[in-house]
Copies of this chain bind each other. A is one copy, B any other.
């Protein structure tokens, strides 16, 4: 059994809360470190186990992630909780190893155009970073999992359509470079469930017993439908953010990540136990509201509440 399979067993669904990373990517006012810690602790209390909490970048560039190491420390103190953070260059990978983070995420753009425009490097250079990060991880005292996330995997905001075969090829290259796990991301919320199902099936064949993750945005309202399609196709790791925090750099005012609470509900209705107590999770939204009063929060479920007369668990 691969290391990734031990951490993300295929027999259950694992939901990664990425609000503290992707959700904060575009916000103007950042939550306090104490607020973030409370967010993590309360969500952990509700059963959330996977937290993506920032990027290893200079605080001058991404001040919202200046307290990343403190949050990794908070998570390390919580039973069964795991931290994840992005490493976008060699320095970031070194910092990740020193931080004790549980999972390092390297990003590879699905298209050469996006890779150059967004990261000022080729996709080959991005895969080289996966390789060197995996080597660093293998030699690190606390060996973190290395995830290679393919951004724009379902369509690119610059290059347009993306050939699924190209995403499979890039994913394979990342696995060969030593990634423990690959992720596919609909970074700008372009796709529908049929496309998700097809690519997940292809990625599932590539990965075999090793799990893969799916990162979806609700930019065009397809987030939950796409998550259902991913689950139907065999995906067992899904990302979301509490309150759907986070927007889209290419569509000002648009909704962001899939709403975590709704994602929990979806999984449970489909018979996938998440280990998460929704009644305990809802109050975490209040922390976000207090810390970022100007950010819109989404989620139909939090407005409506759980059904009063039926159980939503299948």
Contact = CB atoms under 8 A, between A and B. Distances in A.
A224 B221 contact: yes
A188 interface: yes
A253 to B, nearest CB: 5
Contacts of A309: 155-161
Interface SS, A side? loop
Contact of A300 (B188, B254, B266, B299): B254
B229 A194 contact: no
Contacts of A182: none
A195 interface: yes
Contacts of A299: 221
**Interface bin, chain A:** 35 or more
A301 B220 CA distance: 4
Contact of A222 (B219, B250, B265): B265
B266 A222 contact: yes
Contacts of A223: 300
Contacts of A268: 192
A227 interface: yes
A269 B191 contact: yes
Interface string A284-314: 0000000000000001110111111111101
